[in-house]
Structure 1
Amino acid sequence: MSTTPRRRAAKAIASPWLAAGARGDQREKKRQAVLQTAARLFNERGFHATSLDDIAERLHVSKPTLYYYVKSKDDILLECVRTALATMQQGIAEVRQQGGRALDQLRACMRSYAAIVMDDFGQCVIRIGEDPLPPPLRKELRRLKAGIDHEFRRLVTEGMAEGSLQPCDPKLAAFMLAGALSWIGRWYRPDGAMTPEQIADQGIALLLGGVLAPVPSPPSSAPRRRAPRKSTP
């Protein structure tokens, strides 16, 4: 029998560098943190009053660090807008895939739209708007908005065809519905008395059902029949 001692397996040294996939995941998480923090600051202070220094300070990083994740403040705003509109489009697509009556689809799309305009990115779209963006980016924003408007018009048109919506101008109806829902993003406060779900429920009910109380039916004007007289013996 050999008496030579067995060599112990060398203990692997843990690499301080993450694998490529993990590095990519970490970078994307940090990028999303930059965008969400920026969106909140834009909503709180306004776009022009917020600087990259402010965003870096809120994140506890240096300003040069931000440039690893974003190009400029304009780039941040556009990415915030893209995120919100892409989420809206995804929600509308999911509703369309589920099918059902146009009215039910319209309610579901309105609910999705309302929920998004109450989150950080959605509020950024509504409160900041497109004016701060340079013309090429403004054009892209309008293109994304047009796609959502098209879906609302389609559902209104289909709702009239199935008889669940009264006859109206689909373009005007889409503008009115989306405009009213968008305005929620201006006055909504997370610490308010109502939850986002309650706001969405009541807002949709008002937009689709109106605020007028049902008018009671007038009393019948038909002449009342007199009871026949009893004949006397």
Structure 2
Amino acid sequence: MSIPVSSPWRPRRNRDAERELKREAVLRAASQIFNEKGFQATTLDEIAASLQVSKPTLYYYVESKDEILFECVRTGLTMLQQAIAEVDAKGGRAIDKLMAAMRKYGEIVTMDFGMCLIRVGEDPLPKEKRVQLRRMKAGIDHEFRQLITEAIEEGSIAPCDPRLAAFTVAGALSWIGRWYKPGGDLRPEDIMTSMIQLLTQGLFVREAAASPKPKRSGGVARESRAGKARSVSRRSGSK
């Protein structure tokens, strides 16, 4: 009687999914080391060691260190694009969408790929790769300008130059990715609450409308005049 042989090979769809998971692990491990040491100071040997695999194993998933950085930055930009698109798809007031997009942006730049986008970026890459990534950045900038323009039109934001406003907002939020320390005493959600408040309300104290002085009653006025008269009388008697 023949015993059916169980194939030791996994179905192709399973192999593809497993390969993608391992490739993402390579990218994430690399992004963490890039964020800590910088691109130039990081070696493929270090990335492989962090995953407990050999350097040749990495080449099954990526072709070069340049490709790793390109994919890390592209992933960070894709996360931003998707977050803004999701916010916009929900609809609602422009100011609410803008603030939600700001919060998402700030949260993403505290994550591995978002931090790599900010701390390393596309500058170390060949020109053709830089062009692709900067095109994605321009698209994100356009989305922010559009949200700001809509918020101005609905009266939620004071009239301003949407381009400068977008640069200011994105610049302030991006900088979080440089100084944020994972595991520190500041949580991303708390940082974003404070940052949004600063960016939307500013630093200066808003002066409350001057409250009208209470009118003094006639009785109080008469008592005041009587008191002044007694005071004058005493001073006159002391001379």
Equivalent of 2:64 in 39, 58, 72: 72
What's 2:143 paired with? 151
What's 1:108 paired with? 100
Q: Map 1:163-178 to 2 at 5 A.
A: 163-178=155-170
Query: Does residue 124 of structure 1 match 2:120?
Result: no
Amino acid at match of 2:152: M
What's 2:225 paired with? none
Shift of 1:209: 1.4
Q: For 1:125 and 1:102, how far apart are their aligned partners in 2? A: 27
Shift of 1:76: 0.5
Q: For 2:54 and 2:118, how far apart are their aligned partners in 1? A: 29
Structure 2 unaligned spans of 5+: 223-239
What's 2:19 paired with? 27
Q: Please, what TM-score do these two structures have when normalized by structure 1?
A: 0.89
Structure (1 or 2) with the larger CA radius of gyration:
2
Q: Map 1:80-229 to 2 at 5 A.
A: 80-218=72-210, 220=212, 227=218
Shift of 1:129: 2.2
Q: For 1:65 and 1:36, how far apart are their aligned partners in 2? A: 16
Of residues 176-185 and 133-142 in structure 1, the stretch that sits farther from structure 2 once superposed is 133-142
Asked if structure 1 preserves the Cα contact closer than 8 Å seen for 2:73 and 2:122, the reply is no
RMSD over aligned Cα atoms: 2.0
Of residues 142-151 and 14-23 in structure 1, the stretch that sits farther from structure 2 once superposed is 14-23
Q: For 2:217 and 2:189, how far apart are their aligned partners in 1? A: 57
What's 1:47 paired with? 39
Shift of 1:14: 2.5
What's 2:234 paired with? none
Q: For 2:185 and 2:4, how far apart are their aligned partners in 1? A: 57
Question: Is the alpha carbon distance of 1:16 and 1:177 closer, same or farther for their aligned partners in structure 2, counting shifts above 3 Å?
Answer: same
Q: For 1:66 and 1:16, how far apart are their aligned partners in 2? A: 24
Aligned residues: 221
Q: Where is the helix percentage greater, Structure 1 or Structure 2?
A: 2
CA offsets per residue over residues 53-95 of structure 1, 9 Å max, x none? Answer: 1111111111111111111111100100111111111111111
Asked if structure 1 preserves the Cα contact closer than 8 Å seen for 2:27 and 2:71, the reply is yes
Query: Does residue 61 of structure 1 match 2:53?
Result: yes
Amino acid at match of 1:52: L
CA offsets per residue over residues 5-62 of structure 1, 9 Å max, x none? Answer: xxx6x44333221110000000000000000000000011110000111111111111
Q: For 1:142 and 1:72, how far apart are their aligned partners in 2? A: 21
Query: Secondary structure of the equivalent of 1:49?
Result: coil
Shift of 1:225: 8.9
Q: For 1:12 and 1:143, how far apart are their aligned partners in 2? A: 55
Q: For 1:113 and 1:143, how far apart are their aligned partners in 2? A: 18
Amino acid at match of 2:80: M
Structure 1 unaligned spans of 5+: 1-7
Q: For 1:130 and 1:78, how far apart are their aligned partners in 2? A: 7
Query: Secondary structure of the equivalent of 2:41?
Result: coil
Shift of 1:227: 4.8
Q: For 2:134 and 2:73, how far apart are their aligned partners in 1? A: 11
